[in-house]
Chains A and B, each alone.
Chain A
Amino acid sequence: MTEESSFKDVYDRHVRMVFNLCLNYVQNSDDAQELTQDVFVKVHEGFEKFRGDAALRTWIHRIAINTSLDHLKAQKRQKRSLFSLFRPAGHQAEHVAASAFDHPGVLLENREATARIFGHINALPAQQKTALLMKSMEGLSQNEIAEVMGVSNKAVESLLSRARQHMRKELGRSEG
């Protein structure tokens, strides 16, 4: 099997996972497409180093997470500098979340509620956000999350607990 055909094979097996993972981070179809391309370009660059299916999947997961987080960081920096000129700081997150939300996997009737939930997820620290998305959206087990994030099982448990606590608090506040 040539290198190109095996890369195509890796792409076929993982593209759905990568695209949906990026989509859950950025909640925007165009950005998710761009990020998926970035991820597979990186996969292609480091492709020869990897042998063994489990390691490859974990590796691709990590690349997708890091690429998405880097993109969000850059986006946040850019928006912060733009907003700081015209608006007070408090309104930024909500405005950004509401305007950029374009998740094709969300049904129309759930759109408003889901956008609000993602708005709170976006406010979580990067590690809590990753753990929560892996668990709630990707359906990974605690062990798998620990492997992907390169942390202990206990740490994942703690991250998930803090993330859920934050969500309960924020959603309770927006209810009341």
Chain B
Amino acid sequence: MEKENWSNILERVQRVDPPPFLFTRIEARIATRSASRPSTSWVTATVLAMLLVLVVNTVLIVPGLKGGGRNNAGEGIALSMGIQINNQLYND
């Protein structure tokens, strides 16, 4: 093969027609893609629900953290059942 002959060989490559029914297959793919994509209303509803859960959790947790992080309800229950809540083994 001559050094420059390669470009002549490339020029001899013929252009071919695409196969028939390719457009039908493309249309089917487009239809499948748009069907599998969730609708905007569903996405909005999901985002709003998640935001609501986040806000409710924040509202419930933040005041508890501000109170010094002590579990007062747990202490109450332990005292009412006569359970010791410190590590002291002997009562003076």
Q: Give residues in A with beta carbon < 8 Å to B.
A: 8, 11, 15-16, 19-20, 23-24, 33, 36-37, 40-41, 44, 103-107, 110, 113-114, 116-117, 136-137, 167-168, 171-172, 175
Contacts and interface: CB of A to CB of B under 8 A. Distances in A.
Among B1, B7, B13, B25, the most chain A Cβ lie within 10 Å of the Cβ of B13
Given A15-B22, A37-B22, A114-B13, A44 B30 contact: yes
A117 to B, nearest CB: 5
Contact of B12 (A37, A110, A172): A110
Contacts of B47: none
Interface in B4-24: 4, 6-7, 9-19, 22-23
Contacts, number: 69
- For chain B, the bracket of interface size reads 20 to 34
Chain A: interface secondary structure?
Answer: helix
Contacts of B7: 136
B1 A171 contact: yes
A78 B17 CA distance: 30
Nearest to A32: B18
B26 interface: yes
